[in-house]
Amino acid sequence: MKFRQPTSDQALGRLIAGNKRFANGLLSVDSIASGERRKQLAREGQNPFAIVLTCSDSRVPAEIVFDAGLGDLFVVRVAGNIVAPSLIASIEFAALTFGAPVCVVMGHSGCGAIKGAVSGVMRQQGSLTSNLDILLKEIEPAALGALASISGSARTKDLTDSVDEIVNKAIELNVLHSIEQLRLASPHLCELSEAGSFKIVGAVYDISAGTVDFMLPDIS
Ligand SMILES: [Zn+2]
């Protein structure tokens, strides 16, 4: 690798600063896709400083949310930001080939995939297609966990009144579940983490406020 990547914390710092600009309605010059930058990247190759696994939802475009430019982010998008072999492979590729020092697994408020999974476990019903059922199955552990945590803490309440609360909890649990799946399924990513050159970090994006809430106590 000719290019020197930032440390995991420096990369996170860049993401946090970029999201602050975005949430405040600002835009950095670097995020404007100039023809010159495009040609440079084609000529010299890419060196994305961060990997983002997030949802396909049209309201969650990672480059815009982090005010990032061409060649900055290696983005893997799938409904419900789930983890499956081809998605793990994409993340491994970016971590091993470009040395991207951080992977952010980012869920978001109002996620349709999570709502679908929660509704599936509450009503015991299938979704629109059998392929969608397979995807929602990946989110089921988070939906069940959220249902258990909310119904356990509010037994007297009718659960249909708590759907939003259950969905919000499931969004968070699903991010943690995806991180766990990534770690379990990829010894390569674990090795990089143990060597201190790679971090997997959870986050939830608020589609209304524009802010990304990172799940790390030491990250402000
Ligand atoms: Zn979503």
Q: How far apart are the CA of 192 and the centre of ligand 1, in A?
A: 28
Nearest alpha-carbon partner for 52 in 67, 37, 36, 63: 63
Q: How far apart are the CA of 195 and the centre of ligand 1, in A?
A: 32
Q: What pLDDT was estimated at residue 157? A: 59
Q: What pLDDT was estimated at residue 220? A: 40
Q: How far apart are the CA of 217 and the centre of ligand 1, in A?
A: 24
Residue 61, CB half-sphere, CA atoms under 13 Å: how many? 7
Q: What pLDDT was estimated at residue 152? A: 76
Q: What pLDDT was estimated at residue 128? A: 82
Q: How far apart are the CA of 82 and the centre of ligand 1, in A?
A: 10
Q: How far apart are the CA of 1 and the centre of ligand 1, in A?
A: 34
Q: How far apart are the CA of 127 and the centre of ligand 1, in A?
A: 15
Q: 3-state SS string over the chain? A: CCCCCCCHHHHHHHHHHHHHHHHCCCCCHHHCCCHHHHHHHHHHCCCCCEEEEECCCCCCCHHHHCCCCCCCEEEEECHHHCCCHHHHHHHHHHHHHHCCCEEEEEEECCCHHHHHHHHHHHHCCCCCCHHHHHHHHHHHHHHHHHHHHHHHHCCCCCHHHHHHHHHHHHHHHHHHHHHHHHHHHCHHHHHHHHCCCCEEEEEEECCCCCCEEECCCCCC
Domains and CATH numbers, the chain: 8-214 (3.40.1050.10)
Q: What pLDDT was estimated at residue 211? A: 98
Q: How far apart are the CA of 72 and the centre of ligand 1, in A?
A: 22
Q: What pLDDT was estimated at residue 29? A: 75
Q: How far apart are the CA of 31 and the centre of ligand 1, in A?
A: 24
Query: What is the pLDDT tens value at each position of the chain, 220 positions in all?
Result: 457 899 999 999 999 999 999 999 998 877 778 899 999 999 999 999 999 999 999 999 999 999 999 999 999 999 999 999 999 999 999 999 999 999 999 999 999 999 999 999 888 777 789 999 999 999 999 999 999 998 876 554 567 778 999 999 999 999 999 999 999 999 999 999 999 999 999 999 999 999 999 998 654 4
Alpha carbon separation from 38 to 3, 5, 6, 31, 82 (Å, rounded): 17, 20, 21, 12, 30
